[in-house]
């Protein structure tokens, strides 16, 4: 750390992981072009998923398993325990780099042809595990509404 280089190396390594922001919510919805395309009105999880260049289907499946078993609902229970729904929304801005200047760069975010299928892998794997999953629309301009419960907000990097 003293030479200033090792910290930069560690920061670079932190970008190369599957990333999600998970919020415990009492309700959540996502709207595209004025139409609600995914929603629930009961306790569950809103999950914002970011994909970077080196992410893999195996990492996406690992994230799905982590989300399904994450014990952050009332009474330290998980969606797998309670059947609570998840709203999964792609979010390339989770890989914003704000180290320089005032305008973020998105260089660490994977392009659509890479990111889209991996977000779909997360949702498909959640469904295969038995989850009730609502989704946004990849690449669309989305309005996400939620009521955070707690508040509980967790960053997952796998």
Whether omega before 151 lies within 30 degrees of 0, making that bond cis, reads: yes
126: left (phi over 0), alpha (psi -120 to 50) or beta: alpha
Q: Catalytic residue among 56, 93, 105, 143, which?
A: 93
Provide DSSP, 100-155: SSSS-B-TTBPPHHHHHHHHHHHHHHHHHHT--EEE--TTS-EEEEEEEEEEEEEE
Nearest to 115 by CA among 101, 94, 133: 94
Q: Is 59 helix (H, G, I), strand (E, B) or coil?
A: helix
Q: Is 65 helix (H, G, I), strand (E, B) or coil?
A: helix
93 is catalytic: yes
91 is catalytic: yes
Interior CA angle at 46 toward 147 and 69, to 5°? 125
Q: Catalytic residue among 52, 91, 123, 135, which?
A: 91
40 is catalytic: no
Q: Catalytic residue among 31, 40, 92, 135, which?
A: 92
- Which positions are catalytic? 91-93
């Amino acid at each position: 750390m003293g030479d200033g280089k090792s910290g930069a190396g560690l920061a670079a390594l932190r970008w190369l992981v599957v990333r999600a922001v998970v919020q415990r919510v009492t309700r959540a919805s996502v709207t595209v072009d004025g139409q609600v395309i995914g929603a629930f009105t009961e306790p569950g999880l809103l999950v914002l998923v970011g994909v970077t260049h080196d992410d893999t289907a195996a990492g996406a499946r690992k994230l799905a398993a982590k989300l399904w078993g994450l014990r952050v609902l009332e009474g330290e229970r998980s969606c797998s325990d309670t059947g609570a729904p998840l709203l999964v929304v792609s979010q390339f801005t989770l890989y914003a780099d704000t180290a320089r200047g005032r305008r973020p760069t998105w260089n660490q975010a994977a392009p659509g042809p890479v990111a889209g299928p991996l977000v779909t892998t997360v949702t498909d794997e959640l469904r295969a595990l038995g989850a009730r999953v609502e989704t946004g629309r990849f690449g669309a301009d989305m309005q996400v509404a939620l009521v955070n419960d707690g508040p509980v907000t967790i960053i997952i990097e796998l």
